[in-house]
Structure 1
Amino acid sequence: MDISIFTDKAVEPNLDDLKNNLDSTFDLWQQIVKIVKEQYPNPKEEWNYPGKKYGWSFRLKDKKRAIIYLLPRQGYFKVGFVFGQKASDQIMASDINSAIKEDLAAAKKYAEGRGIHILATKESLSDIKTLIEIKLAN
């Protein structure tokens, strides 16, 4: 099952926990946080524990919604987004990786939109940056 490496509700993770568990991808985590902050200064940063089934995740929010979710795993992490219809249409019309578009098209539609998770890698970073831009524009 794909859940956070941080599962103890009583212990909110910190930067040292991330460094120790994300290994070489910790720098990538920090890069993604920096990209969000460059486009949306002073986002609200918060750890969230939706339940034992998911464990702890980190999110950056604007005034009313999450911009991006960072989902820590052992030695790597994923990024999560929820896109409304307008943003989804922009993504489908963009040059973003076709696998991301397929995941978005296949995602179940909820009131707040469609959610996707992407493995954070150096190769996916430019797509993640574009997705942040689209999220903030909608």
Structure 2
Amino acid sequence: MEHSPQIGDRLADKSAPPDDAMIRDWIGPEAFEHWTALRDWIEASYPGVFAPDWIYGGKKHGWSLRYKKSKAFCTFLPEYRAFSAVVVLGAAERQKAGAQRDKLSPRLMALYDEAETYHDGKWLKIGISSAEERQDVTELLALKRPRRAIA
């Protein structure tokens, strides 16, 4: 017997990557606004740099949208009635974050401080349900990779 989705459940049907309509239905219209705003910000800030690709992480982790060039930039996690982004900070990015502590939000720095450091960096999963939380993610991404000057 199938159970009803719970908040935070992932899209686990591996038959095909989800499209925008499926994402909007799964995460909800408000979260989808943040999804599209962050996606649009990445495309405008880093034109032609990333070709996002859907990756399937198995039944437990489901589908996620990865932005990667030579190194991972960020990953969007469509969760039932929620949207999160994962940002991995390597050693250089952790130094930058430490130097910018006073410019980053207290919420973001609390997430940063609580995140465990692994051999490949600190993995931050950031829930995005407001413009301020989305701004936190964009500031972190700008630490990872400076934005191109747009003429």
TM-score by length of 2: 0.80
- Do residues 132 (structure 1) and 141 (structure 2) align? yes
Consecutive unaligned residues in structure 1, runs of 5 or more: none
How far 1:78 sits from its partner (Å)? Answer: 0.4
Consecutive unaligned residues in structure 2, runs of 5 or more: 1-5, 147-151
- For residues 32-51 of structure 1, the aligned pairs below 5 Å read 32-42=38-48, 43-51=50-58
User: Is the Cα–Cα contact under 8 Å of residues 76 and 86 in structure 2 kept in the other structure?
Assistant: yes
Aligned counterpart, 2:62:
55
CA RMSD of aligned residues (A): 1.9
Query: Percent identical across equivalent pairs?
Result: 24
- For residues 22-101 of structure 1, the aligned pairs below 5 Å read 22-23=27-28, 24-42=30-48, 43-62=50-69, 64-94=70-100, 95-101=103-109
How far 1:53 sits from its partner (Å)? Answer: 1.9
User: Is the Cα–Cα contact under 8 Å of residues 50 and 56 in structure 1 kept in the other structure?
Assistant: yes
Could you list the runs of 4 or more consecutive aligned residues of structure 1 that deviate by over 4 angstroms after TM superposition? 1-4
- Highest Rg: 1 or 2? 2
Q: How many residues align?
A: 136
Amino acid aligned to 1:52: K
Amino acid aligned to 1:6: L
TM-score by length of 1: 0.87
